[in-house]
Amino acid sequence: MTLARPNPITDPDTLPRIPAWITAARPETAEDVAFLSGAALSHLHLVLGRADVPQALVRERLALRAAEACVVFSGRPERAGDLRDAMHLLRPGDRPGPAGETCLAWRHAVDRPISVTAFARALPTLEPAQIATWLDAGSGTPVTRAAMVLEAVLTAAPRADVPALLLADAVLAHALGWDHLVPLMAAGLKRADLRKRGDDLRLACHRALIASTIAAVRQAADLTRRAAYLKAVAPKLRAKGAGAAVEMLLTRDAVAPSALPMPDRAARRLCDRLVDLDAVRELTGRDTFRLYGV
């Protein structure tokens, strides 16, 4: 008997869905907004605590969204596909350009546990002492602390959108007890929100977190399904180095065949095989210089 192959797109969620009273709510007061953002963050906290969630992959995918939002804030035309190219198709010694540097900052920020050292690597133009000062600029509840850090950075450096949003997310994550930064703020805020201050900025942060956290929960559910399916088909792969290649795909937003630990032709065949199995997707739509991801 031949078993039907599971479909990672249509299979039911393995993670608890975020309650409809959060996703369908239309908050009218500041108290409503704060309550719903807290409820959404609480649900995300439960999701991120699940052992079956591919944590590194989720963070990388959210980092790409955050980088894209920051690029939009700066008025540049690059979008997610361009940022992936900037990261993965550089020649040795090349620099990724302003948009690529933004993407690189977010990738570095989510790669290691929260620390001043990690953020100094992500934000090399800032002194570690300045980063430490800004990380301590907030007080109160998690969202209030994040909003205060965002305001402190943008008041001192009005054009420093990336450091401000990155450090606000770091403070939020640390206040929630998370070991790694989870990018949420940038994808939910509007450009005009970054000019707000005080209570207006805090309210904007709460609103942003409702939307971005709901999206993050759905992203985590989708990637958990896809990662489980990739793990299920991995034993069918016979190529030498396939196991290590699968591990890379399970932790990275996108991978070029040339980056896999196997000969280039074998890597391309493996990626095409995984696409045929619906285990990974080709992300560029091109015939050459392709990138693959869960």
Question: 232-258: b or e for each residue (b if 16 or more CB lie within 10 Å)?
Answer: ebbeebeeeebeebbeebbbbbbbbbe
Which pLDDT value is given to residue 174?
98
DSSP state letter for 255: B
Q: What is the pTM of this model?
A: 0.94
Calculate ∠ Cα 167-168-174, nearest 5°.
85
Least confident of 17-21, 92-96, 168-172, 227-231: 92-96
Domain ranges of the chain: 27-224, 237-293
Least confident of 13-17, 159-163, 271-275: 13-17
Query: pLDDT tens digits, residue range 91-115?
Result: 878 888 999 999 999 999 999 999 9
Query: pLDDT tens digits, residue range 22-60?
Result: 999 989 899 999 999 999 999 999 999 999 999 999 999
CB proximity list for 31: less than 8 A, separation 6 or greater: none
Task: Match 């933004």 to its residue by tokens.
Answer: 102
HSE, side-chain direction, 13 A CA sphere, residue 234: 18
Question: Is pLDDT larger for residue 61 or for residue 15?
Answer: 61
CB atoms within 10 A of CB 289: 12
pLDDT at 177 over 70: yes
CB proximity list for 222: less than 8 A, separation 6 or greater: none
CB 7 within 8 A of CB 278: yes
CA 186 to chain centre: 10
Percentage of the chain modeled with pLDDT above 70:
96
237-293 is a CATH 1.10.10 domain: yes
HSE, side-chain direction, 13 A CA sphere, residue 118: 17
pLDDT at 200 over 50: yes
Task: Match 């929630």 to its residue by tokens.
Answer: 176
Which pLDDT value is given to residue 93?
80
pLDDT at 88 over 80: yes
Measured between alpha carbons, how far is 155 from 135 in angstroms, rounded to an integer?
14
pLDDT category at 2 given cuts 50, 70, 90 is: very low
pLDDT category at 11 given cuts 50, 70, 90 is: low
CB atoms within 10 A of CB 129: 10
